[in-house]
Every structure is written in C-alpha cells, then in structure tokens.
Amino acid sequence: MLLKRLREEVLDANLELVRSGVVVFTFGNVSGISREEGLVAIKPSGVPYDELTAEEIVVTDLDGRVVETNLRPSSDLPTHIELYKAFPTIGGVAHTHSEYGTAWAQAQVPIPCFGTTHADYFHGPVPVTPNLSAEEIAGEYEKATGEVIVRTFRDLDPAAIPAVLVAGHAPFAWGADAAEAVHNAVIVEYIARMATHTLAVNPEAQPLARALHDKHFFRKHGAGAYYGQPKG
Amino acid sequence: MLLKRLREEVLDANLELVRSGVVVFTFGNVSGISREEGLVAIKPSGVPYDELTAEEIVVTDLDGRVVETNLRPSSDLPTHIELYKAFPTIGGVAHTHSEYGTAWAQAQVPIPCFGTTHADYFHGPVPVTPNLSAEEIAGEYEKATGEVIVRTFRDLDPAAIPAVLVAGHAPFAWGADAAEAVHNAVIVEYIARMATHTLAVNPEAQPLARALHDKHFFRKHGAGAYYGQPKG
Amino acid sequence: MLLKRLREEVLDANLELVRSGVVVFTFGNVSGISREEGLVAIKPSGVPYDELTAEEIVVTDLDGRVVETNLRPSSDLPTHIELYKAFPTIGGVAHTHSEYGTAWAQAQVPIPCFGTTHADYFHGPVPVTPNLSAEEIAGEYEKATGEVIVRTFRDLDPAAIPAVLVAGHAPFAWGADAAEAVHNAVIVEYIARMATHTLAVNPEAQPLARALHDKHFFRKHGAGAYYGQPKG
Amino acid sequence: MLLKRLREEVLDANLELVRSGVVVFTFGNVSGISREEGLVAIKPSGVPYDELTAEEIVVTDLDGRVVETNLRPSSDLPTHIELYKAFPTIGGVAHTHSEYGTAWAQAQVPIPCFGTTHADYFHGPVPVTPNLSAEEIAGEYEKATGEVIVRTFRDLDPAAIPAVLVAGHAPFAWGADAAEAVHNAVIVEYIARMATHTLAVNPEAQPLARALHDKHFFRKHGAGAYYGQPKG
C-alpha cells in the first residue's frame, strides 16, 4: 500500500473530526500531502466514517488523478489541491460544515477576534471569501473554490490565519499536517460559537486590542513562544 | 408476520430517529410503504422507543384500517397516508418535534437556503404550510394536516424538497424509504439550527445565489450527479 | 422502612431528573405524597444524586416534621407542601433549575403556547408568579413561594397547566405521581428551548390559535383522548 | 513525592474540569495551595488532560520557581499566584475558556444576578476587569492579569464573589480548595448560559431584588445557613 503512514494519519484525522462533533453524516473531509512525492491522501466521497479504512483513503497526484484505489476522492479534492499549491507550508486540510462556523460563512461575516482564545490561534479575523461568479460556479466549481480562498489570502499569511469561511458554504482549515488541520477546524467552530454568544450579550462588542491579540498569538507561535513544553 | 422486512426497516428507522437526537420521549414517528401491497407500516401510538419491537409496528391499509397487531397506530397515520397518496415517488415518512425545526414551524417562517448544506438536500426553501381552519381542526384533523401539506406542494416537487414545516406544529420529512426519510428529518434539524445562528450573526443574511443553489443540488441529484460513489 | 414503595418511586424520579439533563450538581428535587397517610417523601437537602438511596429519602408529615431518617429534607419542602395542600389531585412535585426554563423564570415572561408540543401538555401559557414581597422573603420564604404559586393558580386548573415559573427563581412542575412530575419538568425545559428559538427566528411569532391548542390538549387528555394505547 | 495529597487533589480537580464540559483541548488549568508550606501545585502547560498524572503536577513556590518536576507550569501560574497572595482565604484557583462564560468576558459585560441560582453562589454580579494597558501586556502579562483581578476586587469580598471575568479573555474562579474552585467555574458557565437566554427572552430583564438575592446567598453561606446537611 502506497503512503501507508500518510493514509493512516489522514484516516485518524478524519475520525478525529467526527469525534470532535464538527461533522454530521458524511459532511466534511480531511486530506494530507506528501510534499516529497507530490501526492495527496484524502477521504473517499460519500463513504460513512464508521466504515472507513486506511485502504480506502484515496491517493491522487496534484492534478487530481487517482493513483491508487478504485474509490472516487471527496468531491472537494480540487479545493484542497489549490490550497496545497498556493500555501507551500501546509501539510493538511480539513473541511467541515460545523454548526456555528457554517453559520458565519452563511452570514458572510468574518469572525472578529473577540478574545484571547481566538488570538491564540489566529493573527486576525477569520476571513470570508467573496462570492463566486456564475461562471466560476458553472465551470470547475471546486477548483474555483480553492482559487477564491487563495485570492482571499493575497495579503494574508496562511500560517498565521489557518482557516477561512467560504461564503455561503462552510469553513476550510489547514495546518502542518492533517491532525493540526482538524485541530484548527475544531477551534474555528469553538470561536464561532463564542463569537455568536458575545454578540448576543453585547451587539456592540469590540475586537480585542491589537497589543493583546499580538501578545497571545506570539505567546504560542514563533521564536518567542513560551506556551506548552519545550520541543525536542 | 406480514411484511417482516418493511416492519424491520420501519423499526430501525424509528430507532435511528432517537439515536440522532431529534426526538424526546415518544414525540415523532416513522412509517414506510409497500407500494405493491398498498400497505403502510408505522410506529404504534405512545409506545416508548426503547421497548419497541418489529412485531409492534402497526400495518394498515391506505384507508388507515389496521391489518395486523392489536396496537393503535400513531395518531399521525392519516397525515402519512395523505402524503403517500399524493406523492407517488416516496417510500417513507418521518415526523419529529425536533428542537430547531419545530421552532421554525412555530415561527411560521420558511427556512431560507442560506448555504450549500441546505442546497445539497433541498432545491428551495423548506416551506411552511398555511394554518388549518377551525373546521379542519374540528374535523378529521390529522387527515387535514396531510391535505394542507399536499396543497403547499401544489407547485413544488416533493422529490426536490423532501420536507415541510406544518405551521404551529413541527416538521414532516420523506424519502425513497423510511431510512431516507429519517436522514432528511435530521438534515432539516441541522439546517434549521444553522439558519437560526446565521440570522443571529447577520439579521440581513441573504439566501444563496440561484446558481450556487442549483450547482450543489444537482451535484448530488439527477443525471449529472458526481457526489459519492457510483451506484451499482 | 416506612413507605418503601413511595420512597423508591421518589428516588427513581430524582434520578430520572438527572438522567434527563435538567439538573446540575444538587439543584433540583422531587417529592411524592401518600394521600392516605398524609405523608410526603422528598430528596434530602444537598446530597449528591449519585450517592442517594431510598433509605435517605426523607419522609415528613404535612407540617414538614420529619417522621423518619436523620437527614434534613430539601429546603424547598415547604413549597412542595403548599402545593399538595392546595392542589388535591396531584401526587408528585418536581423542581429544577433547568437551563431554559429558568431563563424564562428569570426573564419573568410566561411561556406562550407557540405550538402543538406545548398544547399537548399545557392548556394555556406556562404562567409566571408575581414577585414575593420583602416581608415574604424575610419570613417563611419557602412556604411563601408555595403560597404565591397557589395564588397564581387562583383561576387556573393545576391539572391542565402542570407547571409554573417562579419569578426570578425557576420552574416547579407536578403530576399524578413523582414520575409524571419529572416528565412535566422535562417538557417545560423542552418547550422553553423551542419558544426561545421561535422568538429568535420571529420576534413577532404568535401563539397557537385556540382551536388547535384545544384540539391537541384534548387529543391527549380527558374523555375524548385518542393518543397512546387504550388504558386497562 | 512532595505534597502528594495536594497534587492528587489538583489532578482530580483538573480532570473534573474536563468532565464538566467547560474545557476543550488543553484550555484551562487548576491549582491548589498549601498555605503552611507556601507552595502551589498546578497543571503543567500544554499537556493533554487524558495523559496527566499526579507526578506531572508542577509544584512551585510563591515566586513561581519550580520546586519539583521538569515540566513547565501552566503559563497562567503568575495569575494564580497573585490571587493566592491577595486573597488569603482561598485554597484553589480554576481558569477555563468555557463557552458562555468566555462570551461574557469577551462582551465585557458583568453577569447580572438574574435569579436565585446566581444568588446561591455570588453575592452580586460577576464582575469584569478593566482592560490591561499596552505596557502591562508588554511586561509581565500573566502577573498583570492577576493584578487587574485584585484591583477589581478592591471593594469586593472574594469569598462572597468567587469568580471574575477577565476582559477579552475568560473566567477565573476560586474556592476553599481546588475542587471548590472547579465547582465555581462550572457554576459561572451555567449562570452565564442562563443569563444569555434570559436576555434573549427579555432584553429588559431586571436583576433580582436585593432582598431575594440576600436571602438565597445567606441560606447557603454564613452563620444562618440552613441549606444542605449540618456539618460535623
């Protein structure tokens, strides 16, 4: 079996997505990439999670051609591929229709950074893409979804803002590998829930001051980080 | 035992309804139909789900006459029968008082298609019936409930919009069989939750553009579908 | 052990209250009455539910004097006793601080009958008591809580409206026995949740038409009931 | 192993925090203090809860110097230490990013006492700290967080109001020991949920009358308490 370890990581990440309560039925998919081999491993389309095996994880090249297994890859594969091509530092992508994250995507409102939980993970609001044009929808729709995400990040660093809300659709999150992509997808849901309640309590709530936002982000990320245990 | 397989499907579908978290106590019921024999299998009235057996599933004809078992059928049977008579393509009906779906029925507001999750299942908003008249309520109430649903679909395709909100009451969903009816009932609840949160975040949220709505619906339904694994 | 069966019913009802998710920690209590003996069985005060035994259920007379066991009864006992004295048809009382039911009590807004789920159980809105006066609070507070509930029902039938919201406090529910009181307490929470969401979707939502309200209530209650299986 | 019993209490309290559903991932931490020895036991930073052992609980002195174990303490340790220094009656501190409690902290609105559940635990609203200045954030941030909490309590009794919302951050709660601190952290989340729903139902909802607030608080606290079983 090709890329055994990557497939297993992708399988585990897909199952973790379910355990975290951010998918219902077969909504959602996770992929991982082997940069050396230029191959992507992704959940097959429409297969129930409780039956999924590592053998069924579909491996494709960066043109979306299936390299192994007879199953169709998730129909969102072309979106994942656009992200891997444009964001060279990422190793995994997770897509969910999680309840509150999707609501913000549907509302077409970026999630403001209302607090330090958000700032620990995102160095700015979680952005919303523009809407796709009728031509993009009629053409290679899933590829166009990837392209509009990439355009949304023209002036943003995907490593500092590891998720996006696709307008009228749902969140995509990413990370160093498939597991971190899932972790970030769960965080998007959690901060979306808290942001919704924040507005319910105070419709005039203001984003966190820049100094505190920076403090929390850099407490966990980059050279000056001091959160968690030292690595290595 | 008559219609053993249909009864078991209907039993499983009723239990799946409970596992999915869309019913409390004995609220809710699922039926299935054998079109060849013109017989309907439905949950008995007021029996707790955890004690339900296939033998207790009530079988009736399309006039609502019990053919087997001594239990009373769900009091909503006449509603199910009207749907089977008017919608020849459906094979199962599920009724719940699920928390958010019921709230939209109580609010008497159709669920707008705010996103692709909705568009994957419903080719338009989930409609609300008009209110019943005092005469309809005083007469054969449950039959009138079925009739008002059928009137609501006069210009709608029940295969493309597999659920309805009965005004001041709760959702009814349907599908090719009892299991699909339950699946659609769970989807109604999920999109109702997300639509509620969407309005909380942005009271001016707009429905999905028609092109994207069509794209998602026809990605999963009809001749051009490419979601999931090929059938057969 | 005195009143063994009643104690066991009251124990089971208290544990069912916890399983139903309507209490946290030790908030909440259930009692039952033996009308023949004029004795009430109630949860002891502040004892964790997971350690509770039938022996620890406290038995008191209708003056609140403990007849057996050394434990203090729930501090809400005098409220329960007032209800038993004023409402001769009831056999059980349940008190919770359930999340949404308590929110309506805190909001001091009666729960309108927005739909048939409500109408199946309550023949009218779930009422809110007036606030207690400073004198009532300083005096026999828990007895005064019972008295204000009884005053609220001066023109209402406690059998047709088996619950109340005590202003600024939380719901009390009752029924033919302790188990039914718990059932009604869970229903209050469920309709409070749905009513909250109904208002979120449509702040102008209107109560159910009287004819439909009556239809649903009398479908399940009284001489013309036809819901559930025939009794006996 | 130094302070074996305190470590075990702190371990149990951290695990209880997770079981209570008020933390996700590694967000949140609990500490306990030995006043005699002037030592604090606290969760290590960024270690998953399901792998945590009593040996890994970090013991430090009141200057934050690690006395035993090689793991880094929670990065919030300096906040806990400020609270122990300023509030001599407390023996445990719990910090969460619980969903609704954090939303109120983000909304920067004190939680009003809308009902008796709140009054049973807090003799007044749950306060919000002022925002930290850019200098405080750039300096010893976690220590400054403790200092701003202490300033917020200049005219408040930490024993009568055992929690605070740090503006734009999240709740801190405390108690006689680590277990009581966790209990109070769970209560903060519960009253924050109910207060959110209360405002949803009635945006003009009013705080509880002072007499009833006092009644409930003193029913459970101080010399005249009569809730629960007599101690000793």
% of residues, chain A, pLDDT over 70 = 98
Question: Does C202 contact chain D (CB < 8 Å)?
Answer: no
Quick one: average pLDDT of D198-215? 95
pLDDT band at A63 (very low <50, low <70, confident <90, very high): very high
Q: Which amino acid appears at position D59 of this protein?
A: V
Quick one: average pLDDT of B195-216? 95
Indicate whether D232 pLDDT > 60: no
**Look-up of token digits 């009271």:** B203
Report residue B232 as tokens.
């057969």
CB neighbourhood size of D5 (10 A): 12
Closest-CA distance, C75 to chain D, in angstroms, reads 6
Question: Are β-strands C66-68 and B66-68 bridged in parallel, bridged antiparallel, or unpaired?
Answer: unpaired
Q: Which residues on C lie below 8 Å from D195 (Cβ)?
A: 103, 106
**Look-up of token digits 């009666």:** C110
pLDDT tens column, D112-127: 999 999 999 999 999 9
pLDDT given at position D231: 56
Q: Which residues on C lie below 8 Å from B46 (Cβ)?
A: 227-229
Contact flag D205-C102 (C-beta cutoff 8 Å): no
Contact flag D103-A209 (C-beta cutoff 8 Å): no
Q: Which residues on C lie below 8 Å from D226 (Cβ)?
A: 72, 75
B217 in Cβ contact with B119 (< 8 Å)? yes
Half-sphere exposure of D196 (CA within 13 A, CB side): 30
pLDDT given at position B27: 85
Look at residues A138, A2, A10 and name the one whose alpha carbon lies nearest to residue A61: A2
Q: Which residues on D lie below 8 Å from C169 (Cβ)?
A: 115-116
Q: Which residues of A84-114 are buried (b: 16+ CB within 10 A; e: fewer)?
A: bebbeebbbbbbbbbbbbbbbbbbbbebbbb
Q: Which of B72, B109, B169 sits opposite C201 (nearest CB)?
A: B109
Indicate whether B232 pLDDT > 50: no
Look at residues A102, A161, A105 and name the one whose alpha carbon lies nearest to residue A129: A105
Q: Which residue of D has its CA nearest to C28?
A: D117
Q: Can you tell me the distance from the alpha carbon of D181 to that of C190, in angstroms, rounded to the nearest whole number?
A: 31
Tell me the C-alpha to C-alpha distance, in Å, between residue B43 and each of B98, B150, C21: 17, 22, 26
C168 in Cβ contact with C102 (< 8 Å)? no
- Residue B105's SS3 state is helix
Look at residues C87, C205, C102 and name the one whose alpha carbon lies nearest to residue C151: C87
pLDDT tens column, C99-112: 999 999 999 999 99
**Residues with Cβ < 8 Å from B144, sequence gap 6 or more?**
B132, B136, B137
- Residue D118's SS3 state is helix
Task: Quote the ipTM score.
Answer: 0.94
C54 in Cβ contact with C15 (< 8 Å)? no
pLDDT tens column, B132-188: 999 999 999 999 999 999 999 999 999 999 999 999 999 999 999 999 999 999 999
Indicate whether D2 pLDDT > 80: no
Question: Does B103 contact chain C (CB < 8 Å)?
Answer: yes
Closest-CA distance, A138 to chain D, in angstroms, reads 40
Question: Does C89 contact chain D (CB < 8 Å)?
Answer: no
Quick one: average pLDDT of C203-208? 96
B208 in Cβ contact with B115 (< 8 Å)? yes
Q: Can you tell me the distance from the alpha carbon of D197 to that of B60, in angstroms, rounded to the nearest whole number?
A: 44
Of A208-222, B32-46, B62-76, the range with the highest mean pLDDT is: B32-46
pLDDT tens column, A16-29: 999 998 887 778 99
Indicate whether C32 pLDDT > 50: yes
Q: Can you tell me the distance from the alpha carbon of B147 to that of B144, in angstroms, rounded to the nearest whole number?
A: 5
pLDDT band at A231 (very low <50, low <70, confident <90, very high): low
Closest-CA distance, C167 to chain B, in angstroms, reads 24
Q: Which of A24, A108, A134 sits opposite B202 (nearest CB)?
A: A108
C194 in Cβ contact with B171 (< 8 Å)? no
Report residue C155 as tokens.
């023109």
Residue B171, judged by CB atoms within 10 A of its CB (0-12, 13-18, 19+), counts as: buried
Report residue D166 as tokens.
């740090």
pLDDT tens column, B87-133: 999 999 999 999 999 999 999 999 999 999 999 999 999 999 999 99
Question: Does D193 contact chain C (CB < 8 Å)?
Answer: yes
Contact flag C115-B105 (C-beta cutoff 8 Å): yes
Residue ranges of alpha helices (H) inside chain B are 4-19, 77-86, 99-107, 116-119, 134-138, 141-152, 178-201, 210-220
pLDDT band at D51 (very low <50, low <70, confident <90, very high): confident
Q: Can you tell me the distance from the alpha carbon of B31 to that of B8, in angstroms, rounded to the nearest whole number?
A: 11
Q: Can you tell me the distance from the alpha carbon of D18 to that of D176, in angstroms, rounded to the nearest whole number?
A: 20
Q: Which residues on B lie below 8 Å from A102 (Cβ)?
A: 115, 117, 194
pLDDT tens column, C43-61: 999 888 888 999 999 999 9
Residue ranges of alpha helices (H) inside D123-209 are 134-138, 141-152, 178-201
Higher local confidence (pLDDT), C25 or C58: C58
pLDDT given at position C232: 45
Interface test with B, best of C201, C210, C220 (most B CBs within 10 A): C201
Indicate whether A123 pLDDT > 90: yes
Q: Which of B45, B99, B132 sits opposite C197 (nearest CB)?
A: B99
**Residues with Cβ < 8 Å from C80, sequence gap 6 or more?**
C31, C40, C42, C74, C93, C95, C146
Tell me the C-alpha to C-alpha distance, in Å, between residue C215 and each of B137, B142, B162: 7, 11, 27
Tell me the C-alpha to C-alpha distance, in Å, between residue C161 and each of B42, B46, C22, C92, C180: 31, 21, 20, 14, 13
Tell me chain D's radius of gyration from C-alpha atoms: 17
Question: Does C221 contact chain B (CB < 8 Å)?
Answer: no
pLDDT band at A229 (very low <50, low <70, confident <90, very high): confident
Phi, psi at B68, each rounded to 5°: -150, 155
A127 in Cβ contact with A155 (< 8 Å)? no
Catalytic residue among B49, B63, B120, B214: B120
pLDDT band at D50 (very low <50, low <70, confident <90, very high): confident
Q: Which residue of A has its CA nearest to D102?
A: A194
The residues of D that are catalytic are: 120, 227
> How many inter-chain contacts (C to D, CB under 8 Å) are there?
87
A8 in Cβ contact with A54 (< 8 Å)? yes
% of residues, chain C, pLDDT over 90 = 83
Q: Which residue of B has its CA nearest to C202?
A: B107
Catalytic residue among C63, C120, C141, C190: C120
% of residues, chain C, pLDDT over 70 = 98
Reply yes or no on whether B141 is catalytic.
no
Quick one: average pLDDT of B3-10? 95
Contact flag D194-C102 (C-beta cutoff 8 Å): yes
Q: Can you tell me the distance from the alpha carbon of A91 to that of A180, in angstroms, rounded to the nearest whole number?
A: 9
B202 in Cβ contact with B115 (< 8 Å)? no
Q: Which residues of C184-199 are buried (b: 16+ CB within 10 A; e: fewer)?
A: bbbbbbbbbbbbbbbb
pLDDT given at position A232: 45
Tell me the C-alpha to C-alpha distance, in Å, between residue D191 and each of A196, B152, C106: 17, 43, 11
Tell me the C-alpha to C-alpha distance, in Å, between residue C84 and each of C11, C120, C167, D232: 19, 24, 20, 33
Q: Which of C25, C108, C200 sits opposite D200 (nearest CB)?
A: C200
Q: What is the mean pLDDT of chain D?
A: 94
pLDDT tens column, A162-214: 999 999 999 999 999 999 999 999 999 999 999 999 999 999 999 999 999 99
Tell me the C-alpha to C-alpha distance, in Å, between residue A121 and each of A116, A217, C57, D127: 9, 6, 50, 27
Q: DSSP characters for C4-57?
A: HHHHHHHHHHHHHHHHTT---TT--EEEEEETTTTEEEEPBTT--GGG--GGGS
Residue B7, judged by CB atoms within 10 A of its CB (0-12, 13-18, 19+), counts as: buried
- Where is average pLDDT lowest: A51-55, B61-65, C113-117? A51-55
Half-sphere exposure of D160 (CA within 13 A, CB side): 13
pLDDT given at position C231: 56
Q: What would you measure as the largest C-alpha separation in chain A, in angstroms?
A: 55
Q: What is the mean pLDDT of chain C?
A: 94
Question: Does C219 contact chain D (CB < 8 Å)?
Answer: no
